[in-house]
Structure 1
């Protein structure tokens, strides 16, 4: 039988990121905490953490265990509140998976309609690779997945892709780089330092094809999984980067950069993927019905 005290210790360590911090929070010796987690791993016949330098990192099984632990202790807190204070109306949970290549400000805009419903919604976001999110979607651990591409044709999962938004792409640079490369756009991009998304993104292929059609050969000085990290390098003046035109003002304001050009010949597309053609979940209906 599962030892819930040991599970609670695991949960606290996973949330705090280290045994030392969790031991301070729980007022327990680190050796005691480490021993209890070891007993939990033995009882589950699995490894929940792996050592990375001086820290700890959740294993794949550990991440799965943490998702269950979050639900268990959340329900426990709700039960305590309900029993001590009378009837409690619980918000509807909305579990959404976010492909890790998605720009965070776009994610917020896409999810905003769900947060404006009359009935309260509790949103639970999980960021990961698209393939792993789709695996969770098919076993109903997620209600919806947001991605920069539709359901891949080569994945044996029955699902439905709903295009939420489509927009052009803008190119951004620091004011110093902009003075050098903004004149005669897009020809000015030839031999310009360019920061690009990695090969896992739908945007990468569209960008390279467009550059080839324009006979432009930039110097690719960086490739990034994370669009936020790419913007940070762009903000530091390492190179020119792209972002959806619909958030151009926000990108300029947040990162101190300026747009040096824009094209609608490259289109960013963002999708909501579900396993039901017509979902009954109010948050999914609101998102699929919204026009951004």
Structure 2
């Protein structure tokens, strides 16, 4: 009996010692992973600064995988997406950002991910003649940022981008309106120009849209409609080139000097993105 008790006691001591060894090994392993993660992140950041975003993206993802429970894991994922964005790999950036939103739903850096998603769509916008899909996706994302994160620099830049997107959407309507005008499809043309007047009246195309409505309605013999749009144009944009052209529709001998407009210049905040994770 005493021998049996001695055996049990010895066995328990061995188990305790093994347990301590396992804990020590676990701590050492975790520390090594932590150091490897920091090393990978640092290597990635250096590569990004030296103009090698492809290698940087690879190393940022490696850093995330090395220590997924670390607070640096979501940052590494974001920086990988940013690296993809810099080299115009928008598909890869979007896929990684969507994964980020699913993997780290409570991250304090969600706004950065949403902004970068919006920018990926924004960068794929070409012109008014091409696919409208990226335009509406970018508009949706920028609108979300303005609504959900109103007191951030990203919201300020999103508002500016939304203004540019409105210009692009208005440009698309103008392009189609002019196309129908050339084809003498009057109703289709009128509808496009009216859409600009009603929905994009803060864009640079409002004056031309009003003039086109004057021009088409006058040509169709709808003098009252033509005069209505001419009056709106004159009341709001008396000194513009388009008002001069509309005035000439009714007064063929009219001529006037119109001052040139000053263009506004605004900057975005994307260049601040990288600094958030220094």
Q: TM-score, normalised by structure 2?
A: 0.25
Q: Which is bigger in relative contact order (C-alpha 8 A, separation at least 6)?
A: 1
Question: Larger strand proportion, structure 1 or 2?
Answer: 1
Over alpha carbons, which structure has the higher Rg? Answer: 2
